[in-house]
């Protein structure tokens, strides 16, 4: 009798069944910014140059914590798309990316395996039994973000301030969005010697610099010719 009662509770809010589709393929892209020839200003701690491989990935953006009946809740953040079909689009329930969101459940609720935004506008959690728990009280929307690939490699120059007429620049390498400490370096440049500074193929013309910001023209990005 108790089992029947629990199943009745969990059935509250169920709207049909759905089997998630896993047919989405993200698009890799090479990022090299700012553009060669552009004049830019960066503040202390900001990236001056950035180069690497990212993927433009479709995601579901949930701007506020959202409950689906009593059993499931979705935290604020991005949910990576995994597929779509004639019923709607499907997303990872747990997302280990920057600002990633995740599904939480009550102890007695069935395990979940996907999030769905249906063509009918309803936001749903799909359980391991392909049961849908849905709500139309949400503000979720589709968008796209850049996400580091598992085998991605990124390079950045970061402005670290000025002492006298010397500027400090930090070089950082990232693999799969994780810093590689052995490949980090901090370099000091004396602007009395030259207004052009270079590192690992990158070349910048320093227009102005103080202890708050730096203005520069990009002559080359990392290992990239003009």
Radius of gyration over every alpha carbon of the chain, rounded to an integer in angstroms? 24
Please report, in tens digits, the pLDDT of each residue of the chain (226 residues total).
344 334 444 444 556 788 999 999 987 878 888 999 999 999 999 999 988 887 889 999 999 999 998 899 999 999 999 999 999 999 999 998 889 999 999 999 999 999 999 999 999 999 999 999 999 999 999 999 987 665 567 889 999 999 999 999 999 887 755 545 557 899 999 999 999 999 999 999 999 999 999 999 999 998 654 4
What is the per-residue pLDDT across 145-160, written as a single tens digit (0 to 9) for each? Answer: 987 665 567 889 999 9
The size of the chain, in residues, is 226
Distance CA 156, CA 86 (A): 42
Q: Which helix (H) or strand (E) holds 9?
A: helix 2-11
């Amino acid at each position: 009798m108790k089992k029947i009662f629990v199943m009745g509770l969990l059935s509250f809010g169920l709207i049909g069944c759905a089997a998630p589709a896993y047919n989405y393929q993200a698009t890799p892209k090479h990022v090299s910014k700012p553009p060669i020839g552009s004049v830019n200003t960066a503040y202390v701690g900001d990236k001056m140059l950035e180069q690497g491989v990212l993927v433009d990935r479709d995601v579901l953006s949930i701007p506020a914590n959202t409950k689906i009946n009593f059993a499931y809740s979705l935290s604020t953040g991005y949910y990576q798309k995994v597929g779509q079909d004639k019923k709607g689009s499907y997303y990872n329930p747990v997302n280990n990316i920057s600002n990633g969101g995740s599904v939480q459940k009550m102890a007695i609720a069935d395990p979940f395996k996907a999030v769905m935004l249906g063509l009918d506008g309803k936001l749903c959690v799909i359980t391991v039994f392909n049961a849908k728990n849905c709500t139309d009280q949400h503000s979720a929307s589709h968008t796209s973000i850049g996400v580091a690939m598992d085998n991605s490699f990124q390079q950045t120059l970061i402005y670290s301030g000025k002492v006298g007429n010397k500027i400090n620049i930090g070089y950082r390498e990232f693999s799969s969005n994780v810093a590689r400490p052995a490949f980090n370096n901090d370099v000091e440049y004396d602007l009395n010697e030259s207004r052009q500074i270079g590192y690992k193929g990158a070349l910048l013309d320093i227009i102005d610099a103080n202890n708050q910001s730096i203005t520069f023209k990009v002559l080359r990005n990392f290992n990239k010719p003009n």
